[in-house]
Amino acid sequence: MQSLPFQPEQASTIARSVDQLYFFLTAVTLFFTALIFSIIFYFMIKYRRRAPGERPKAIEGSFPLEVLWTAIPTLIVAVIFVWSSTLYFRNSEPPKGAMEIFVTGKQWMWKVEHPEGQREINELHVPLGRPIKLTMTSEDVIHDFFVPAFRVKKDVLPGRFTTLWFEATKVGTFHLFCAQYCGAFHAGMIGSIIVQEPDEYESWLAGGAPGESMEQAGAKVFQASGCPTCHLADGTGLGPSLLGVYGNPVKLTTGETVTADDAYMRESIVLPKAKIVLGYSPIMPSFQGQMTEEQLNNVIAYLRALGKAQPKPKEEGKQ
C-alpha cells in the first residue's frame, strides 16, 4: 500500500508494515468511535424524555452482554498485540552484514562517523538497499534519533550505546529529528538522512576529506594512550591480548562469562575495574575523561578489527 495523505513517505523496508498496522489501528479507532457515537446519538433521540415524571423500568445488566463486550475488545487487543510484537521483535535485530556507523549526539547536533573515517555533522549519507546499523551514544544528556520516513527511533544515552538499524528503499533526503527533549535548542537538533544509489555513495565516500578510517584513527589513539604496554599480542603482558577478543566470550574472575561487545569494550576502557578477565589483576587505569567519545568510538572500531585477527598462541602456564 502506498502511504496515505497523512503519512510520511515510506522510505525503508519496515515502513510499509508499520503503516499497515497503523492503518488497522486507525480503522479500529474510527469504527468504535463511530459505533459509540451513533448508538449514543440514536438512544438520545429515541429515548428522550417525553414527560416530566417519566420513570423507565430498571434494567440491572446482562451477563452475556458483559462477556461479549469484554471478549471482543480482548480479542482485538490480542490481535494487535501479537501483530505488533511480532513486527517489533523481527525489526529489533539488524540483519547480518549491516554497515556499522557511529553516531554521537550532543547538545545540539548529530556527529556521524563512517567506518572509512568519513565524518558528518547533522547529515548521514547512506547507500540504498543496504542494512545500516547505527551505534549511538550521547556526550551529555539523553537525545533521540528519529527518522519518520524510516519509522525508526531510538533514545541516545550518555554513558552507554544504543543501536538502531534500517534499510533505505528510496533515494532522497529525509528528515532526522531529535525526539527527546534535550534543552534549549532541542528543536534545532535536526538533520538529514541522504540516501544515494550505491555507486553515488561510493564516490561521495571517496571524495571526502580525511583519508583515515576509524580503524586507523583508533589504532593511533591505542598507541598514544599506551595500551600496547600492557596488552601484549601474545597475552603475556599485564593485560590480556586483544586479538580475536571482540565479539567472543570472555571469562571473568567472578566466574561469569560475558560477550566482548561494544558495551563491554567501552566499559573496559572507562571503568576497567568493573569486569576483570580471569588470570589478570585489576590494575588497569581508567581513561574516562582522557578520551573523547569520538576517540572511544575509533578505538572500538580498531578493537573490532583486532577481533577478526587470530589470537597469538599463549605460553603454557599462563591461563
* Binding residues among 139-168 for other proteins as defined by CB under 8 A: 140-142, 144, 146, 148-149, 151-155, 157-160, 162-163
Identify the three-state secondary structure at position 129: coil
Identify the three-state secondary structure at position 119: strand
Binding to other proteins (CB under 8 A): which residues in 28-57?
Answer: 28-29, 32-33, 36-37, 39-40, 43-44, 47-50, 53-57
Q: Is 211 in the site for other proteins (CB under 8 A)?
A: no
3-state SS track over 251-293: EECCCCEEECCHHHHHHHHHCHHHCCECCCCCCCCCCCCCCCH
Q: Is 177 in the site for other proteins (CB under 8 A)?
A: yes
> Cβ(158)–Cβ(138) under 8 Å?
yes
Q: Which region, judged by CB under 8 A, interacts with other proteins, from 76-84, 127-135, 207-215, 216-224?
A: 76-84
Q: Is 217 in the site for other proteins (CB under 8 A)?
A: no
Cell numbers at residue 163, please? 543501536
Identify the three-state secondary structure at position 108: coil
With residue 101 as reference, give the H or E element that holds it: strand 99-106
CB atoms within 10 A of CB 156: 27
Q: Is 70 in the site for other proteins (CB under 8 A)?
A: yes
Q: Is 243 in the site for other proteins (CB under 8 A)?
A: no
Q: Is 298 in the site for other proteins (CB under 8 A)?
A: no
Q: Which region, judged by CB under 8 A, interacts with other proteins, from 121-129, 180-188, 195-203, 231-239?
A: 180-188
Q: Is 313 in the site for other proteins (CB under 8 A)?
A: no
Q: Is 25 in the site for other proteins (CB under 8 A)?
A: yes
Bridge partners, residue 249, by sequence: 259
Query: CA 14, CA 5: separation in Å to the nearest integer?
Result: 18
Burial string for 198-208 (b: 16+ CB within 10 Å, else e) reads eeebeeeeeee
Of the pair 178, 306, the CB lying nearest other proteins is at 178
Q: Is 60 in the site for other proteins (CB under 8 A)?
A: yes
What letter would DSSP give residue 136? Answer: E
Q: Which region, judged by CB under 8 A, interacts with other proteins, from 89-97, 120-128, 201-209, 239-247?
A: 89-97
Of the pair 153, 314, the CB lying nearest other proteins is at 153
3-state SS track over 157-182: CECCCEEEEEEECCCEEEEEEECCCC
Of the pair 65, 209, the CB lying nearest other proteins is at 65
Return the residue of 7, 122, 192, 225 that touches other proteins, per CB under 8 A: 7
Return the residue of 78, 206, 224, 238 that touches other proteins, per CB under 8 A: 78
